[in-house]
Structure 1
Amino acid sequence: MESLIQEFIEYLGHEKGLATNTLESYGRDLRQYCGFLSEDASQTPETASQATIVAYLMMLRKQGKATATIARRLAALKAFYQFMLKENYVTKDPTDELSSPKLERKLPKVLTVDEVDKLLNQPDTSTPAGIRDKAMLEVLYATGIRVSELVSLNLGDIDFNEGFVRCIGKGSKERVVPMGELAINSLKAYLSKGRPKLAANPEENALFLNHHGRRLTRQGFWKIVKKYAAQLGIRKEITPHTLRHSFATHLLENGADIRAV
């Protein structure tokens, strides 16, 4: 089963150009599906029927999985079986007649301008980690880039002379995003006072480092944002993406063109 999943993941990466995070998500979902199949020695991805897949989806529902999670798992299975059909591993797609559950459309939680201001000023800038956190929050809010793009930044991606950041977005597409003065100043402070004290390896190219001197992960940054929100008593469900949504909303409230957000 694992070799089949790996073949599928490589196909998605090479033929479809999907982002690494998307590929990892597909891999996790399919391994969980194969784990379900392995409970019956006679079942494999090649022999699974529509009834088998319906039973799997019903199990997810009984486990209390969110509708969005079930929809994502089914989307992964549909893509997987389309690949298997194309490569002649199966003669029929058992997911063909299955429809994705309807999702409730929820607007992302948005922080007020005052809440954002407090969050941006929450890090203790007398410490290297606090200087880093301040810079990351300022850049995220000022540019509206994705959290995955933020933590993927390297030293050479910042152009202080022109005032922009170069990042790699979905589908490995490069884009250049301007930064404001506050973000630029916070980055300069981090590079001069924060990063040198976090860097364990002088050859490390990552811009934002954890306390081990390696690239800070998305999960690591999520914990940082949650910590500061809790310290401020912000009761809204907050994730690193909340800042991005807040950025877009504040732009629109101030008359920005929605096509530019």
Structure 2
Amino acid sequence: MKRRSNTVNEKTTAALRKPNRTTKQPLKYWDVAESFYKHSRLKGLSPDTLRYYEKELKQNGRAFTELGAPVENIRLMTAEHIEQLIEYYQRIHRAPRTINSRLRALRTFFAYCVSKGITVTNPVQNIANLKVRHEVGATFSRQQLQRLLDAPKTDTFSGLRDLAIMTTLAHTGIRLKELTSLRLPDISFDGIGTITVQRTKNRYARRIPLTKQLRRVLALYIEERGILDTDILFVSMDNAPFAERSIQYQLKYYGKISGVGNYVSVSPHAFRRTFCRLKVEAGTNLFLLQRLTGHSTLDMLRRYVQIFATDLEDVIEDGF
């Protein structure tokens, strides 16, 4: 019998070979960012959140490019590159809150990369946010608030509308986005009356009772507004939804003519801070105040208590 050859068939040898580990292809930061935006849209994130991610990731991408970070291959990004990014922002005098906002966006972005197998680790995961001062912005005094509410000329439609806008901001503490999204069906005059805020930051609708003054002003404004093609509550002279920028401009204008703007920057958020301050000074329960304002946590409201609660005045003379 013919002796068998000791050489194994090449086909068999090839089948036994371990497959070559191919190097993963480089992925550019900008391309992965586009995938992340699409993923975020499919998740149903709000337009504001989508704009936030796009804005902050673009700023970070430009900074990474300036620093020579591996934007051409996101897989090479490390915690060291993130630390260099923070130092860069500090050198160009970006505020700690701004830096933290950009870090939050990056942290979420790289978490997405890990979940999709694009990167093995999240280089931002163990990077701590910068410490910031816990401050409360300026608020209006009662006298300043009244001067603002007295400023519009209520014998004109625009003046009556602006009074209704400022009274709504002052008596509910709602955010600008919440204000511009109010619709006629959100206002009820049953009983003492209520505003139902539908488009909120945390996506949970909330109910705010009307004060007597707000009920009266809104009723007058809605009657003058009349029936239109849009059911948006606050409208322009062209009967179109009144834009956020236009509201901000009008508030600045009333701050100027009333003189309040010389002391406090007049903005929707200044009205919100003032609402919180007045409620704290009146001794409103924090949990009730949280329900009125829609704050996701009590942290910010506790800062108002630290500054504006009247219990310190009640005890300062004790022991003397």
What is aligned with 2:218? 187
Residue 21 of structure 1 aligns to a residue whose secondary structure is helix
Gaps of 5+ in 2: 1-28, 290-320
Deviations 1:63-112 (A, max 9, x none): 22211111111111111111111111111111123111101111121211
Aligned AA for 2:59?
A: Q
Structure 1 residues 215 and 38: alpha-carbon distance in aligned structure 2, compared to 1, 3 A threshold: farther
Residue number in structure 1 paired with 2:196: 166
CA RMSD of aligned residues (A): 2.4
* Mapping 1:200-239, distance limit 5 Å: 202-234=228-260, 235-239=263-267
AA aligned to 2:242 is L
Equivalent residues of 2:169, 2:271 under 8 A apart: yes
Aligned to 1:84: 113
Q: Which deviates more from structure 2 when the two are superposed, residues 68-77 or residues 214-223?
A: 214-223
Say if 1:62 and 1:84 are closer, same or farther in 2 by CA, change over 3 A. Answer: same
Pair 1:152–1:87, CA change in 2 (3 A):
same
Q: Which of 265, 282, 285 is the matching residue for 1:254?
A: 282
Stretches of 4+ aligned residues off by more than 4 angstroms: 9-15, 38-42
Q: Helix, strand or coil for the counterpart of 1:161?
A: coil
* Partner secondary structure for residue 166 of structure 1: strand
Query: Which residue of the partner structure matches residue 147 of structure 1?
Result: 176
Task: State the shift of 1:257 in Å.
Answer: 1.4
- Provide TM-score, normalisation by structure 1: 0.86
- The answer to whether the 8 Å contact 1:160/1:184 transfers is yes
Residue 93 of structure 2, aligned match among 53, 64, 70: 64
Match of 1:126 among 155, 159, 174: 155
TM-superposition CA deviations, 1:181-219 (whole Å, max 9, x none): 2212222222222x35xx9xx322211123453323333
CA distance 1:14–1:142, change in 2 (3 Å): farther
Question: Any idea what the Cα deviations from partners look like across 1:135-186, whole Å, max 9, x if unmatched?
Answer: 0111121122222211111121111224101112223211111111221222
Please state whether the residue corresponding to 1:176 is helix, strand or coil.
Answer: strand
Structure 1 partner of 2:206:
175
What is aligned with 1:135? 164
- Matched residues in 1 for 2:185 and 2:31: separation? 37
Unaligned regions of 5+ residues in structure 1, if any?
Answer: none
What is the aligned length? Answer: 255
Percent of aligned positions with the same letter in both sequences? 24
C-alpha contact (below 8 Å) 1:19/1:172 kept by paired residues: no
Partner of 1:23: 50
Query: Is the 2:194–2:210 Cα contact (8 Å) retained in structure 1?
Result: yes
> What's the offset of the Cα at 1:131?
1.3
The structure number with the bigger radius of gyration is: 2
